[in-house]
Amino acid sequence: MVNKRKIFIVSLIAVSVIAVILLPFVSGPDVRRDPSRTAEDRIVVIPLNGTVQEGQGGLFAVGGITPRLVYSQLERAAADQSIKGVVLRVESPGGSIAASQEIAYMIRDFEKPIVVSMADMAASGGYYISAYAQGIVAQPGTITGSIGVISTLMDLEGLYEILGIEVETIKSGKHKDMFNRALTEEERAIMQNFSDEAYDQFVGDVAEGRGMTVGEVRELATGEIYLGSRARDLGLVDRLGGTAEAIDYLAELNDLEKPVRYEFPAPSVFDQFFTFGFQVFAKFEKALLGPELIKLEMLREGVPPDIRYQLR
């Protein structure tokens, strides 16, 4: 174990040194950030990649689409008077309910026009955060839709028995321990009602954002995934294409004559190094821990109910 830790530390140092050397070269100049072009109508492209979540997520998780990230990026766009609109490049299978809603409402209330450009996948919560945009553009092969709710509950009693772990629960409230054991029929009904309510919120917001009736959305909200071409026919997507088409569509909708793609300057070398180092550390740490230790850590932290707008 000691030798493994030594190898880990040496490897991390080596990777960090290489990263510091290479980052200045991979972050070269970009004509899209040329200050001489600021007189034109700049459309900032903001990438949003990963699971929609409130924070960093669970064990070993890095990155993701968070309300804090979206807020900070939109604030930058709002503060720059040369930026006339925003294209959000969304790549996400969805994620947590509240985070999806918070981001969707940020987009709804933003003062400048927003068009979403869907990448390989913008499904479930990834579609939710897109629904309030002024327009949605996807590739014919983009995976989208999956409008629905999925709940995953784990009954660990059998595992505890195998591991020889005895759990004693003291509770106040009839259903307080419902996620620590198998559900009763009454509790399954409670969870189904919970899921149905979250589903109704999803359907209602998509209907409002897309200018459709609740009935029209409900017919499509079966949890089914759609290719971008089919989603366009169903009214869930406006046009087919990539980022360039999304920029042109935003310009067309808002009478912008000279739209120019723009991206915010890359993070500093230090910020990139810090993020890269954290990702390397997380991967190495996970590699050093055996599967048994990972499971024990998850048990120690507890296994909360997992209720999401997410494609699985």
Question: Would you list the DSSP string of 57-104?
Answer: -STT----B-HHHHHHHHHHHHH-TTEEEEEEEEEE-EEEHHHHHHHH
For this structure, is 124 an active site residue? yes
Q: Fold for domain 31-147+224-310?
A: 2-enoyl-CoA Hydratase; Chain A, domain 1 (3.90.226)
The whole-chain average pLDDT of the chain stands at: 83
Tell me the two tokens of residue 250: 């935003």
Listed range (105-109, 196-200, 229-233, 288-292) with the worst mean pLDDT:
288-292
For this structure, is 112 an active site residue? no
DSSP codes joined into one string, 133-166: SSEEEE-TT-EEE--S-EEE----HHHHHHHT--
What's the pLDDT tens digit per position in 250-274? 999 999 999 999 999 876 555 555 5
CA distances from 263 to 33, 47, 56, 73, 89 (A): 7, 9, 24, 11, 12
Highest mean pLDDT among 2-16, 26-40, 173-187 belongs to: 173-187
Listed range (120-124, 156-160, 199-203) with the worst mean pLDDT:
156-160
Confidence (pLDDT) at 145:
97
Q: Which of 223, 32, 29, 58 is nearest to 127 (CA)?
A: 223
Catalytic residue among 4, 171, 176, 295: 176
Question: Full-prediction pTM beyond 0.75?
Answer: yes
Catalytic residue among 117, 124, 130, 146: 124
CA distance 185 to 271: 51
Confidence (pLDDT) at 185:
94
The DSSP element (H or E) to which 309 belongs, if any, is strand 306-310
- Residue 233 or residue 154, greater confidence: 233
- Residue 40 or residue 37, greater confidence: 40
Question: Is residue 65 within 8 Å of 53, Cβ to Cβ?
Answer: yes
The residues with which 95 forms a beta bridge, in sequence order, are 52, 309
How confident is residue 43, by pLDDT bands cut at 50, 70 and 90?
A: very high
- Residue 89 or residue 155, greater confidence: 89
CB atoms within 10 A of CB 286: 11
Confidence (pLDDT) at 33:
47
What's the pLDDT tens digit per position in 45-78? 999 999 999 975 444 444 699 999 999 999 999 9
* Radius of gyration in angstroms for the set of CA atoms belonging to the chain, rounded to a whole number: 23
What's the pLDDT tens digit per position in 130-181? 999 999 999 999 999 999 999 888 777 777 788 788 878 888 999 898 888 8
Angle between helices 67-79 and 97-109 (to 10 degrees): 10
Tell me the two tokens of residue 200: 């109704």
Mean pLDDT confidence for 197-213: 98
Confidence (pLDDT) at 237:
98
